[in-house]
Each structure stands twice: as structure tokens, then as C-alpha cells.
Structure 1
Amino acid sequence: MDHLNISERPGDNYVLLEIMGTINSYTYSDFQQRVYTLIDQTNLVLDMSRVSSLSSSGLGVLMSAIEIGQERGHKLYILNPSEIVRLAIESTGFPELFQIIRSIHEVR
């Protein structure tokens, strides 16, 4: 069975979601709801270092969240993406859309 854990930590000008597990058509609905709600309100940092699978459904959530953030004046940051996440982002053909960071201190 696919499993996804999401924990939330507030920061000064952002919310950090630590994500662990698989993001696919079975697990993405909770991920989608939390990401869309938060990016609507503030900058959002997704720690994706422990994501073991990212399907096209999950990528769609990320790309839509970038658009929502731009409309609201907020940014979406991907913190330390796992190799799986990095390859999935590159597969979109638009890796420059994604703000990849290595430290939470890079959030502006």
C-alpha cells in the first residue's frame, strides 16, 4: 500500500511541509489540498528529500501551486529534492519553473 506522511512547521514568512513517502494518484489528494491551501496564504517550502515516488498527479499539483503562488504573490520552494523528485521535475521540460533550494535560509 502507498503511504504519504506530511508534517507542517510554520516559519517567519513561510510554512514548511515535510513530505515523506509516495505521491501518486492514490495519495495526492491530501497533498494537493494542503499545498493549495497554504500557497494561497503564504510562501510554501516543500521538503521533498524523503519522497520515494512522484507521479504525474503529484507533478501537476506542484505546477498548479506555482501558478497559484504567482497569482497571490507567494513562492513555492522545493527543499532538497530526492533523486526521484529531481528527475521528475526535469522530465517536465520546465525545470526552470521550480525554485530548488538547499537550505531553509534561502527563502525570501
Structure 2
Amino acid sequence: MEQLTITEKSGANYVLYELKGAVIAYTIGEFQQKLYDEIERGNVVLDLSQVSEIDYSGMGTIMAAFNDGEDKGHTLYLLSPSPESRDAIEATGFSKVLHIISSVTEVM
């Protein structure tokens, strides 16, 4: 089973999480906690360029964080989704509501 590696970096008005690997039910525990905690405090950018798979639990985690952020006045951005990530986002229909960006300079 593929693991999930999370690298955290700070920007001017956001926290960036670089994700590498699979965002699936078996790997999202640490990611979920970090994401939920951080979206309460400010904007979050998820770099999905190296994600090999996202299942429905992974997409559910992302959407829950997106909704929590909206409630707090914070924004969740998805940076450069890999083809696998984009497929998962499209399959759920969330592409119409999620903020998909190609550069961190797009973070407001």
C-alpha cells in the first residue's frame, strides 16, 4: 500500500501542504487532523501535483475542510492537481466549487 507524505511550508497568508502518495482511507489520519486544525486558523493550499490516488474518503476530507474554511472566512486551494487528483475531483462534481490554482501567487 502506498503511503502519504506531507510537507508543510508557510506562505505570506497561507500554509502549504505538499502531498505525495495516496490520499485514501488508510492514509488520511494525520493529514485530516492537520488540515482541519489549520483551516480553522487561515488559508490552506494543498499541492496535489504528486498525489497518485484520492478515494472518496480523501475527497470527503477535502470537502469538509473546504466547508469549515468557508464558515470561518478562510479558503482552501488545490494547487496543480495531478491527473489522478483531477479525475477524483471531477468524478465527485466538486470541481465547480473548489478553488483550483496553478500557482501560489493566486492565493488571496
TM-score > 0.5, shorter chain as reference: yes
TM (normalized to structure 2)? 0.97
User: Which runs of 5 or more structure 2 residues have no equivalent in the other structure?
Assistant: none
The alpha carbon displacement at 1:2 in A equals 2.2
The alpha carbon displacement at 1:95 in A equals 1.4
Is the contact made by 1:51 and 1:82 (CA closer than 8 Å) also made in structure 2?
A: yes
Is the contact made by 1:2 and 1:26 (CA closer than 8 Å) also made in structure 2?
A: no
The alpha carbon displacement at 1:94 in A equals 3.0
Aligned pairs, how many? 108
Please provide the CA RMSD for this pair: 0.7
The alpha carbon displacement at 1:7 in A equals 0.6
TM (normalized to structure 1)? 0.97
Which letter does structure 1 place at the counterpart of 2:5?
N
The equivalent of 1:84 in structure 2 is 84
The equivalent of 1:72 in structure 2 is 72
Identity over aligned pairs, percent: 46
Q: What secondary structure does 2:21 align onto? A: strand
